[in-house]
Structure 1
Amino acid sequence: MGRKLCDRPLAMLRLPRNFGPCRTSEALMALSIPASGQWDGNDGKWSTVLLNIGSPAQQVRLLPGTSATSSTEVWAVLEEGCTLANPNMTECFYSRGNTFARNESSSWSTSRLANGGLFELLMISEAELGLEGNAYFGFDTMSFNTSSGDSVEMSDQLVAGIATNDFWLGFFPLSPIGMNFTDMDQSVPSLLASLVDQARIPSRSWAYSAGAYYQDPPAYVSLTLGGFDELKIGGRSLEVPFGADQSRDLVVWLNSITYDTYGSSALLTQGVYMFLDSLVPHLWLPPAVCQRFEQAFNLTWNNDTELYLLDETVHTALLEQNPTFTFSLSESEDQKDQITITIPYAAFDFNVSAPAVNNVSRYFPLKRAADDSQYILGRVFLQEASATQIIDIEPPASASNSTDEARTDEGPAKQLSPGAIAGVVLGGIVLLGIALMLFFWRQKRQNRGAQATTSEVIEDDAAHSMKRAGSENFLSELAVHEQAVHEAGCEFGAMPELQDWGEDVGRHELSAIGIIPEVEASPLCELPSDRSSSK
């Protein structure tokens, strides 16, 4: 028995966390979000979900975003992502999941934000890959439909309007962490937190599988908010405690990668920790592993595009060979419990198009990682694996007498084992310690951020995108009338554990961006959904 999606077994990674307060509500159910029915993207065929933003509503197609630091708010592609960043591209607006025109929304507001809401996107793990961008942040109404036909409407939700080509589509945020702006007294709750606060879902848990275009019939994205579907969970699952590093929170140990060709050698033989991140489409693996892929499948690295582009000869050979790759995963390097996830070559058989390349080309979604900060299992991996993050666990003593089972839309939700609960508690304590130290460091450095005009920041963003596309064109600013905006004063570094706060330790430069995800201290609670009262 296995976790199934459209009659195909999936391995499930259970990723527990302990953010947020307990909520005891009557008959709260998890929400299943339907797919848009479209396959979007310029680097593959990705299944998206629908979100309506603004007044009147503007519908955009988004990818679920799992990054704890980067996916705290909705990312929507602005009109400028086409009119300025890609002015000569036909069908750009549709290709980017439909764009959002903030000036056409009567409910769009930036009154509480400095600089007209223009800030750099807060990214840590993604920035390690060279990805970057600016955004117009603002507050607006939004709504989405559930699989049961209900409409969920929300007001005053944070939106980041992007134009960078580093992220072709926008993202539906799955982070439970709030966002802090330096000029606001209170943190801005994440979308999941708002749904909990408004008693729409029982917890900040979620379950996500990316979908698979190559299946027959195609399998669309599966996204559940506030719980998970127990009927889709079988014996092939791996329970992983929440990691101590907030920027790389969803980490698993990758023991090996093999493929099924007779007489073949393993592609990865020495295990490494890998970060699961749906904001990134590719697999980022050590150079030695990439070299084994190159030798086994005649792949050639293109230095200009930084992609493994395939000519028809290589592509035909891969289709004929049709290898199946097996990923062996465990919680950590010293754990014997493992799961294996098999991925057919069809899951890697992608096309890439403008602006990443000048002409549509076939490619293999593998990237060379410079060091372990870049080891990532991206969205391509989640075509055959489902990630479930369980956040609110173990009720406080005052509610311990409750006997009602938590439920999702389709069945009772499982509770975590005591071992998993202990691991989550420790993870939450470490994160709170990091957040406090970062706060004091921000106070120390708040006056040292480099200033830049809106024109400079947006032109830097555009130049970066154009350089990747191989274009000589230069993009003008999004808006020349805005005031100055903070830009990053140093390179961001992830802190995997509490360290000696010496002068040589790499730190997050918080004040230069002006925003930081907040880590909230709160009692642990179980994944509630059907409690009648709090005792």
Structure 2
Amino acid sequence: MASFLERLLLLPSALLALSASYAYASALEIRDDNSTAVPAPISFSPDQSWLGIDGSWSTFTLRVGTPAQSVKVLVSFASYQTWVVLPQGCQAATDEDACAQTRGETFDNNTSSTFDYVGIYDLWIERNLGYDGNAIYGYDVVGLGLNGQGGPTLKNTTVGALAVEDFYLGMFGVNPKPTNFTSFNEGSPSYITQLKQQNYIPSVSFGYTAGAKYRFSGVLASLTLGGYDSSRFVDNNITFQFAADNSRDLVVAIQSINTPSQIESSPNPTELLPNPIYAYIDSTVPQIWLPTEACQVFENEFGLVYDNTTELYLVNDTLHQALLDRDANVTFQFGKGSSGASVQVTLPYAAFDLEVQPPYPNIVNTTRYFPLRRAMNSTQYTLGRTFLQEAYISVDWESATFNVSQVLWQESQVQNLVPIVPISEKGGTGSGYPGTDTAGNSDTSSNSLSGGAIAGIAVGTVAGVVIIALAALFFWRRKKRNSQKSIDEKTSAAPGNGPALARQSSRNVYPKAELEGNSTPFMEGRGLLSAHTSTPRSAPGTPHSVVSPASGGYFPGGAVSTPSPTTPSGEGTHSSTQSNRLFSPLSETASEADSRERHIYEMPGDMPVIREKDGKALSEKEALARRQMIYNGVDSASNSAAAVSEGVREPRRVSPEDVVQSSSQLRDPTLHRQFSFEMDSEQQ
């Protein structure tokens, strides 16, 4: 036994040494260099087109289906699918070919041999802004760029083919949320998620600016997947956290919106936003949605006129020339909260100088408009593509953070792609945003233990603690058994202390009644169950049996009601087969809470009539006092005094031999008895 215990105590040390050796061996393990290589981000180059019925926007080309059909789309932060326009979207147009060109070309799912039809579903996003519609959904092949540009091609990509005009162009969704057609447990991954899964990009992230046709000869949009282009913006060190609303996560606090004052005596800028607000940044929509109060300030400052029919601020030639002459700009200042550190993005008037054309709702002719929309509530506060002409945004979906900066305008720009490396990657310490270590390297990464080392040490430590605890338990139980054995030996050695005495002693110890659900033997003769009760243990209503739903222990419909163990249920709680409840496992005989007998007092109307040979019947009070004296041994003086005070005389005791017969003729004693207590003459 001693040698066994010694080996047992040495086991934790052996396990700890083994785990440590495994840990350090893991840290020194030679790995393939290719497995640690971080893929470079993808620069998705835009095409040379400027499309749209609500402005001129730089588009991107996708290859969809087999054989590949080229379509031009916009970028959507809210969408997690790829949207294309069906040929049916131009059937009502006079010139279908011209319509197809303005909509970025169409995609015919019937001619694609790889299109896997799923069904018709709602587009869902932007409903809070009044956008609506549905699409034919399926899975198909989607590639980035034109044929020969070398963009990645992914199979089984979720594609929505639409014909509605609320979304006039197709969309390339960069949101990583999966698409769930039938169950939340079987979501189809988004395109950007598949790029990360197939090791095309280092992380689920992107950098984007919408481009500006009015800058230089037209500056195209920029989209980087898995990182950002540091040559396109002015660096700042403010990183925003995602908002709680999953459908509106890229939210910033707009602290102020101002424009230079036109009053020479007042150089302070004019404030256009009465109160700070929180707004969602989304490239899916073109306009800027602000509170009605702010829109009214814009109206007064720039002379804008709201058109109720189109719900737009239409700009005629006179107003347009006045705005050109003023050449005003609008500065958005925003931060993490309504105050504190902030970032500024300035938009010139040219960013607001857009055109709207049919088939935009209620628009008959192409006309200029100011892309400002009245928001009815806070869920509509949105900064759309108009804002992103002058703003660059980089988003790391994995760390739920993003950065917004002012676009840096240079005629000759040299692209500089920076990967956003997630924390989970080897050597990665953060998102790699501007203001952080853009290489994603950690100064202390070389000194830290690997995951295998940490796991090995943890396993060894836990194993050592468990074995020590088991050894301590073994010794404690052994000591307890030895102590009990010693007591038993002393008891058996005492005179007259044999097994029979031990059994008798155990019968004289009455266990306390436990809570419901525990079964204990009870003493007979005191209103409790006997240890040898005839009621079977599986009887209905006991906690050891499964009561059928059809039995009396259930309410109709299967509802069960059982008294709580902590709730008093009254003295003499018992089980009853006639009840609709499940009670404690006691017999039908009422049991008192303290297991002691109690004296029984009957009501006055239950007293027997006691008669004496020549007396009258006792009153109820006298009978009660007499019964109390007989059964309880109590002679209440107060009762006797009360009887005397009430004038009740004591009954006169007359001896039988003192009785005088009232007739000279004696009665036949064999036929009659003089008194009830006389014996028959023959017996005398």
Range class of TM-score, shorter chain: 0.5 to 0.7
Contact 1:32 1:147 in 2 (8 A): no
**Residue 124 (structure 2) pairs with residue 122 (structure 1):** yes
In the TM superposition, 1:14-33 aligns within 5 A as 26-33=37-44
In the TM superposition, 1:58-69 aligns within 5 A as 58-67=69-78
Q: CA deviation at 1:389?
A: 0.3
Counterpart for residue 104 of structure 2: 97
**Greater shift in the superposed pair: 204-213 or 98-107:** 98-107
Counterpart for residue 39 of structure 1: 50
Of residues 339, 356, 359, the one that matches 1:355 is 359
- Alpha-carbon deviations, 1:183-228, whole Å to 9, x = none? 6862100001111111111111100000000001311000000112
**Residue 189 (structure 2) pairs with residue 199 (structure 1):** no
**Residue 238 (structure 2) pairs with residue 227 (structure 1):** no
Letter in structure 1 aligned against 2:88:
E
SS in 1 for 2:59: strand
Of residues 259, 277, 286, the one that matches 1:272 is 277
**Residue 344 (structure 2) pairs with residue 340 (structure 1):** yes
Distance 1:148 1:406, change over 3 A: farther
In the TM superposition, 1:165-244 aligns within 5 A as 165-182=165-182, 186-232=186-232, 234-236=234-236, 238-244=238-244
**What is the alpha-carbon distance in structure 1 between the residues aligned to residue 97 and residue 198 of structure 2?**
41
The structure with the greater share of residues assigned to helix is: 2
Counterpart for residue 48 of structure 1: 59
Counterpart for residue 463 of structure 1: none
Counterpart for residue 307 of structure 1: 312
Contact 2:423 2:430 in 1 (8 A): no
- Alpha-carbon deviations, 1:93-133, whole Å to 9, x = none? 000111111111111111xx3xxx1111122xx11111101
- Alpha-carbon deviations, 1:432-473, whole Å to 9, x = none? xxxxxxxxxxxxxxxxxxxxxxxxxxxxxxxxxxxxxxxxxx
Counterpart for residue 25 of structure 2: none
**What is the alpha-carbon distance in structure 1 between the residues aligned to residue 156 and residue 189 of structure 2?**
10
Q: CA deviation at 1:322?
A: 1.3
Letter in structure 2 aligned against 1:338:
S
Structure with the bigger RCO (C-alpha within 8 Å, sep 6+) is 1
SS in 1 for 2:238: strand
SS in 1 for 2:193: helix
**What is the alpha-carbon distance in structure 1 between the residues aligned to residue 36 and residue 203 of structure 2?**
11
**What is the alpha-carbon distance in structure 1 between the residues aligned to residue 441 and residue 174 of structure 2?**
20
Contact 1:28 1:202 in 2 (8 A): yes
**Residue 438 (structure 2) pairs with residue 413 (structure 1):** yes
Distance 1:376 1:26, change over 3 A: same
Counterpart for residue 107 of structure 1: 114
Contact 1:25 1:199 in 2 (8 A): no
Distance 1:278 1:147, change over 3 A: farther
**Residue 381 (structure 2) pairs with residue 375 (structure 1):** yes
| TM value normalised by structure 1 | 0.67
- Alpha-carbon deviations, 1:208-261, whole Å to 9, x = none? 000000001311000000112344454335310011110110000001111124
Contact 1:135 1:163 in 2 (8 A): yes
Q: CA deviation at 1:326?
A: 0.6
Q: CA deviation at 1:157?
A: 0.6
Contact 2:429 2:440 in 1 (8 A): no
**What is the alpha-carbon distance in structure 2 between the residues aligned to residue 273 and residue 404 of structure 1?**
29
**What is the alpha-carbon distance in structure 1 between the residues aligned to residue 40 and residue 354 of structure 2?**
37
Q: CA deviation at 1:73?
A: 0.5
Distance 1:120 1:290, change over 3 A: same
**What is the alpha-carbon distance in structure 1 between the residues aligned to residue 195 and residue 343 of structure 2?**
33
**What is the alpha-carbon distance in structure 2 between the residues aligned to residue 406 and residue 66 of structure 1?**
18
- Alpha-carbon deviations, 1:44-87, whole Å to 9, x = none? 110011101011111111111111xxx11001111111114x45
Contact 1:228 1:413 in 2 (8 A): no
**What is the alpha-carbon distance in structure 1 between the residues aligned to residue 292 and residue 432 of structure 2?**
44
**Residue 90 (structure 2) pairs with residue 82 (structure 1):** yes
Counterpart for residue 387 of structure 1: 393
Counterpart for residue 259 of structure 1: 259
Counterpart for residue 72 of structure 1: 80
Q: CA deviation at 1:310?
A: 1.1
**What is the alpha-carbon distance in structure 1 between the residues aligned to residue 146 and residue 277 of structure 2?**
38
**What is the alpha-carbon distance in structure 2 between the residues aligned to residue 26 and residue 245 of structure 1?**
35
- Alpha-carbon deviations, 1:486-529, whole Å to 9, x = none? xxxxxxxxxxxxxxxxxxxxxxxxxxxxxxxxxxxxxxxxxxxx
Contact 1:72 1:190 in 2 (8 A): yes
- Alpha-carbon deviations, 1:369-394, whole Å to 9, x = none? 00111110111000000110013356
SS in 1 for 2:243: coil
SS in 2 for 1:196: helix
5+ residue gaps, structure 1, are: 1-22, 418-535
Contact 2:242 2:249 in 1 (8 A): yes
Contact 1:285 1:369 in 2 (8 A): yes
Counterpart for residue 133 of structure 1: 133
**What is the alpha-carbon distance in structure 1 between the residues aligned to residue 103 and residue 170 of structure 2?**
8
SS in 2 for 1:180: coil
Letter in structure 1 aligned against 2:112:
S
**What is the alpha-carbon distance in structure 1 between the residues aligned to residue 56 and residue 395 of structure 2?**
24
Counterpart for residue 425 of structure 1: none
**Residue 68 (structure 2) pairs with residue 57 (structure 1):** yes
Letter in structure 2 aligned against 1:377:
L
Q: How many residues align?
A: 378
RMSD: 2.7
The structure with the greater share of residues assigned to strand is: 1
**What is the alpha-carbon distance in structure 1 between the residues aligned to residue 302 and residue 256 of structure 2?**
18
The structure with the largest alpha-carbon Rg is 2
5+ residue gaps, structure 2, are: 1-33, 264-268, 400-421, 443-684
Counterpart for residue 8 of structure 1: none
